[in-house]
Structure formats: C-alpha cells, structure tokens
A and B are shown apart, each in its own frame.
Chain A
C-alpha cells in the first residue's frame, strides 16, 4: 500500500501537482509517521507552493528534517522575510557547499549588505568551475551587488 502511495506521489511531483502530492505524502505519513522520503517530499512540495511558514514548521517539528535540512530552513526563512534568522541558520552550517554559499550571498544581498554579498560571490567564482550551471547568474548577482554597493 505504501509502495502504491509512493508511485502516486512520484507521479504528482513529476506533473507538478504539488497540492495533491502533499495529500499523498500525508497519507504515507499517517501510516509511517517518520518516513524520511515522504517528509522530505512534503517539505519540497511546500517550498514549491511558496508555503514557507508551513515549511519551516514542518522542519522544526521533525527531528530528522531539523538535523538534515538547515539549507532548506534557511531558504524558507529568507523567502518568509525573516532574513536575519535565515542568515543565522545559514552561517551555522558547517563546511558549507556551493548551495549554502549561494544562499548566504543572496541573503546578504536581501539584507542590503552588498559588500559582504559581493565577497561571497567572489569566493564562489574562485571555487566553482566554468562548467557550473549557474556561473552566468552568479556574475549577474555580483554585478547587482556592486551596483547597489555604489
């Protein structure tokens, strides 16, 4: 039964029917309370539905998500206009990878801390290869940070 529900969840996600996907994830969670795959899929559905307050609550109420989803939590806080909280969460992440640095740079930008934002983008430019998918977008964001810094 759970396998069938996961097939349904997978199909809804593939077709970007995120509301329906959330209700299927809830059905799985009603059977298996702490199912990691169901929890994580539910979380991402909430993010793609722009339900950022709900997404943060979901993370905070589940020890598994709380431990593994600092990046997602910081992202949701940043979209929920809780920028200082987002900054605190992203800065607390140990050994940040590219995605955490991207988030850090954009949170600093939204906080109008343009010099520090530019500095993080400069570090990213040094530590990512030309084949990285988002180099053009980073260059654009860096220009924006420089422009706003004046």
Chain B
C-alpha cells in the first residue's frame, strides 16, 4: 500500500481560549 497522509487532521486545531480565561 502506498504512503498516504491524513492531511485533513492537520487542519483541526484548538482555537485560543484567551478571551475566556
């Protein structure tokens, strides 16, 4: 099986909570 990356996962990031803390 060729190498294949889950690129979509890299687009999932926690936004800052600065305004709530």
Contact = CB atoms under 8 A, between A and B. Distances in A.
A143 B8 CA distance: 17
Given A3-B21, A37-B17, A141-B7, A72 B2 contact: no
A102 B20 contact: no
B7 A137 contact: yes
Interface residues of A, number: 32
B8 A103 contact: yes
Contact of B14 (A7, A13, A134): A13
B7 A134 contact: yes
Interface residues of B, number: 17
Nearest to B6: A106
Nearest to A147: B2
Interface string A12-23: 010000000000
From B9, B10, B15, B20, name the one whose CB has the most chain A CB atoms within 10 angstroms: B20
A4 B15 CA distance: 18
A106 B12 contact: no
A75 B12 contact: yes
Given A37-B17, A37-B20, A41-B17, A102 B2 contact: no
Given A75-B9, A137-B5, 5 more contacts: A44-B14, A47-B12, A71-B11, A72-B12, A140-B3
14 contacts: A6-B20, A7-B21, A41-B17, A47-B12, A71-B8, A78-B8, A102-B8, A102-B11, A133-B10, A140-B3, A141-B5, A141-B7, A144-B3, A147-B2
